Structure 1
Amino acid sequence: MPTDPRGLRSEAPLLDAWLAFQENTSHAFTIPGHKHRIDLVGDVIAGDVPLYAGLDTMKVTEGTLAEAERRAARLWGADRCRFSVGGSTHGNQALALAVGVPGDRVVLTRSAHRSLVTALVLAGLEPVWVTPDVDPQTGLPLPIAVEAVETACAAADSRRLAGVFLTDPAYVGTHGDIAAWADVAHAHDVPLIIDAAWAAHFGFHPDLPPHALAAGADALVTSAHKALTAYSQGALILVRGNRIDADRLEAAVEATHTTSPAGSILASIDASRALLERDGAELVGAVLRAVRATRDRLAGVPGLLVLDGPGVDPLKLTLVLSGTGAVGVAVENRLLDRGRPVEMADRDTIVAMVTLADTAEDLESLADNMIAAIEAERGEPHEPAGMAAYRVVPEPVRTPREAFFARREVVESEAAVGRVSAELIAPYPPGIPVLAPGERITPAVLTALREAQTSGARIAYASDPTLTSVLVLR
């Protein structure tokens, strides 16, 4: 029998419906086809309940999803909220479809996730890129300068500018001045939309930054499965004010969402919201204290730089290894051998994702294993190379949509220099594009990709992950 260990049932309508289904349904003549028979394929399908004819009737007469979304909107101070089982990817794509018409321009950070580039293809929008400055000491991105946003908005042409899409915090945990970005966007009469996939916890403890809506953004997308406790793929789309048309957004969400959403994911989003609302400050406070102790301990490792300070997410542990001479991928492999995988590792950087589910004991163990792995791999200090995505200045030639639908051909990578890419290529993690459809392939692009590959990153989304060949426009 399923349990509700923290007593959230009455505070989370979708969780309540999920528990009621498990308790009361003997055999449903609806999808999913496994009919909850774990004797057929095992525990992998245990707990799988659909939204329709699961958490609600097939006609959605109970309104459980709508009520859960209303509660989330209230918690974040939003006017509208939609839950998604498609991750922040779905939210980014829906908002891109909601803000403009094909041919419009949007200001977009080059630290954007690849989902925003594919959103440009879907919506027919043209990017005006802003590239973050890089901290030479760490090789990591700094927040987008307010002046850069203003310059990009002015360059976009006010008649065609449809919105400003920025990512905050960045994958490595650095965050910027959302209030100032909002002032710039609103001065140009367009919405500011924040991809806050990694920041569902922001705003729920006095030692954390405010969340994007509280700071002045018009919309935010956040993953409930990253910093919170939801099932993988769970995300929220939150909108405030009238700069984004409500009906258009609703149509965009439905157009890009599955018609068979997993009720278990939706229920976990609702449960995570209820937990955050009731116990978030307490849980976050405890893990913040543990992370502070871990940061201080790691900062004592000779040569190791631990990202810290007011512009860094206090829950994210980002380590720069170049001063130790250790290679991040080798350190990661040692951590994997000890059952301590981390979120990301490349030559010089390791990112450990910490959430309110971590304990002081978990973080102490991480520090023990991290220090041992770094000492075992210690070598000659060197300058940080920086992530590939931040070492390349994009050269747009065609719009992403034009390039996606254009005739294409495969050429040897050396022969591709000067040609226009027909594909998106990104080292993963973090999945930030080094090359987007419609951009010119330069020697710097190929060098950055090959260096990322050599350092141990997976080359993602490319037609040829070996980089021997590239897909280009004919």
Structure 2
Amino acid sequence: MPTDPRGLRADAPLLDAWLRFQEAAPTPFTIPGHKQRHDLVGDVIAGDVPLYAGLDTMKLSAGLLAEAESRAARLWGADVCRFSTGGATHANQAVALAVADDGDTVVVSRTLHRSMLLGLVLAGLTPVWVRPEVDPATGLPLGVAPDVVRRALDAHPHARAVFVGDPSYVGTVGDVAGLAEAAHEHDVPLVVDAAWAAHFGFHPDLPQHALQLGADVMVTSAHKTLPAWSQAAIVLARTERVDPARLEAGVEATATTSPAGAILASTDAARALLERDGADLLGSAIAATRGARERLHAVDGLTVLDGPGVDPLKLTVVLSAAGVDGNAVEQDLLARGLPVESADRDVLVAVVSLADTGETLGALTEAIVGAVERHRGPARAVVGPAAYGVEPQAVVPPRQAFFARAESVPIEHAVGRTSAELVAPYPPGIPVLAPGERITAGTLRALEHARDAGVRIAYAADPTLATLRVVVD
């Protein structure tokens, strides 16, 4: 199968520019300060070519970025495309700035990544939370039901947009077409954080991507399931319900003015590869993942997410019935050089991409099977991730709480106070607590559950949870 990256350059203007820069070996009098010398700090800076006075001229006179983004827009069927070197975090926050005005209300899935929730702070938006359904067999989230969104919009007729994440972190896929229909009945845009779905829509065994299903905006991470540099992301939009000028302004307001050319070039190259060889590469990876699932299904006590409502390239294993601690399994995998995306007491999540083969998945699968057999214990009841069981109690809008005077208090004194910070077990980065919400006993139980299950508590000023930052009364 052809995978020579130089063979992509004719269809990838930013990749071609990156290769030409390497071939020309110029002596730049521009940033970055390493000036392409590898003898100063080593090869850690290899390939670091800026967009300005690197891939293009300082004045962007060749228009290479615009051309690459135009090609991506055509491939995904969008009116507008922008590349991001700040990951889906930047893209989500740019969209938040684009779709509504300061003080407006928006309908938001509680399972969205913390980047979008901080986007609400930046844009001054007030969320109306909606929750996904939860699979009772695994305790893991499914999609947000369209009727839940309908009811939220009926109750808040001035809401300006609907924000959801799909697929979920664990790979479950919701009814995006139904969500788009519900949003459009109220003439508001549906924004989908599809960070984990850059491959959707490019093989018949995969779900269609969000724009194909009627969404107005889709944010996706090129670095998660496509072969792009870390921090590579794409925002794609149709402009019937989204102002392209506002979206452009949102992107520029939150982007670096020194974008890394290698990230941009890799995004362009990944798009060209997906267009040229995506179906073949994805087909092989899907077949290998199917084989891994079959092997794991055969192990007593393991539950493997599968079926039409699951991303065929996500390998999520529930360990409860085997009595295995996922943190112990993770340590065994790390010792074998096989890190996984996420591991806590009950669930392992492994990301598969078009770069994977039967050999890589076979090695991972056999290592998981061996670790499970070594660490078996009494079966446990299924307990879903803590974040999905907390019902948020909003006191003030997130922006108001974020900028309010705050103080740190011992966690035992925090109940009843208003949070000034966002606290989320990571991964997946779904908040248990957001700025402006009342801290309850249930909140603290959920955070302690996550910590005790071996999950890192992220974004809190005190990750040990000895204290929390609260709004000064």
- The TM-score, its normalising length taken from structure 2, stands at 0.98
Instruction: Describe how 1:244-263 pairs up with structure 2 within 5 A.
Output: 244-263=242-261
CA RMSD of aligned residues (A): 0.9
1:423 matched to 2:418: no
Contact 2:15 2:268 (C-alpha < 8 Å) held by counterparts: yes
1:432 matched to 2:430: yes
Corresponding residue to 1:181 among 179, 182, 197: 179
CA distance in 2, matches of 1:6, 1:109: 42
Structure 2 residue runs without a partner (length 5+):
none
Contact 2:424 2:431 (C-alpha < 8 Å) held by counterparts: yes
1:234 matched to 2:211: no
Question: How far has the Cα of 1:447 moved from its partner?
Answer: 0.7
Per-residue CA deviations over 1:55-91 (Å, capped at 9, x if unaligned) read 0000000000000000000000001100000100111
CA distance in 1, matches of 2:5, 2:176: 37
Question: How far has the Cα of 1:300 moved from its partner?
Answer: 0.3
CA distance in 1, matches of 2:470, 2:183: 34
CA distance in 1, matches of 2:269, 2:254: 24
**1:98 aligned residue:** 98
**2:274 aligned residue:** 276
- Secondary structure, aligned partner of 1:312: coil
**1:190 aligned residue:** 188
Instruction: Describe how 1:370-409 pairs up with structure 2 within 5 A.
Output: 370-409=368-407
**1:213 aligned residue:** 211
Question: How far has the Cα of 1:8 moved from its partner?
Answer: 0.5
- The TM-score, its normalising length taken from structure 1, stands at 0.98
**2:116 aligned residue:** 116
CA distance in 2, matches of 1:165, 1:135: 21
1:23 matched to 2:13: no
CA distance in 2, matches of 1:328, 1:90: 31
Instruction: Describe how 1:240-319 pairs up with structure 2 within 5 A.
Output: 240-319=238-317
Contact 2:89 2:116 (C-alpha < 8 Å) held by counterparts: yes
Residue identity opposite 2:107 in structure 1: V
Question: How far has the Cα of 1:274 moved from its partner?
Answer: 0.1
Residue identity opposite 1:133 in structure 2: E
Question: How far has the Cα of 1:131 moved from its partner?
Answer: 1.1
Question: How far has the Cα of 1:351 moved from its partner?
Answer: 0.3
CA distance in 2, matches of 1:269, 1:214: 21
Question: How far has the Cα of 1:135 moved from its partner?
Answer: 1.4
Question: How far has the Cα of 1:454 moved from its partner?
Answer: 1.0
CA distance in 2, matches of 1:57, 1:350: 46
CA gap of 1:112–1:408, structure 2 versus 1, over 3 A, is same
Corresponding residue to 1:350 among 348, 351, 357: 348
Residue identity opposite 1:375 in structure 2: E
CA distance in 1, matches of 2:62, 2:99: 31
Residue identity opposite 1:97 in structure 2: L
**1:366 aligned residue:** 364
Query: Percent of aligned positions with the same letter in both sequences?
Result: 65
CA distance in 2, matches of 1:6, 1:276: 15
Question: How far has the Cα of 1:241 moved from its partner?
Answer: 3.1
CA distance in 1, matches of 2:421, 2:26: 49
**1:63 aligned residue:** 63
Question: How far has the Cα of 1:5 moved from its partner?
Answer: 4.0
Residue identity opposite 1:86 in structure 2: G
Question: How far has the Cα of 1:6 moved from its partner?
Answer: 5.7
**2:466 aligned residue:** 468
CA distance in 1, matches of 2:390, 2:344: 17
CA distance in 2, matches of 1:360, 1:27: 44
Per-residue CA deviations over 1:403-446 (Å, capped at 9, x if unaligned) read 00111111111110011100000011111100000001011110
- Secondary structure, aligned partner of 2:53: coil
- Secondary structure, aligned partner of 1:411: strand
Residue identity opposite 2:198 in structure 1: A
CA distance in 2, matches of 1:388, 1:181: 25
1:49 matched to 2:49: yes
Contact 2:73 2:79 (C-alpha < 8 Å) held by counterparts: yes
CA distance in 1, matches of 2:55, 2:248: 21
- Secondary structure, aligned partner of 1:419: coil
CA distance in 1, matches of 2:276, 2:61: 28
Range with bigger deviation, 264-273 or 449-458: 449-458
**1:146 aligned residue:** 146
- Secondary structure, aligned partner of 1:225: helix
CA distance in 1, matches of 2:331, 2:400: 41
CA distance in 2, matches of 1:6, 1:253: 30
Question: How far has the Cα of 1:133 moved from its partner?
Answer: 2.1
Structure 1 residue runs without a partner (length 5+):
none
Residue identity opposite 1:198 in structure 2: W
**1:410 aligned residue:** 408
CA distance in 1, matches of 2:164, 2:5: 38
Question: How far has the Cα of 1:4 moved from its partner?
Answer: 5.0
Per-residue CA deviations over 1:178-232 (Å, capped at 9, x if unaligned) read 1110111011110000000000000000000000000000010000000101000
CA distance in 2, matches of 1:450, 1:155: 34
The number of aligned residues is 470
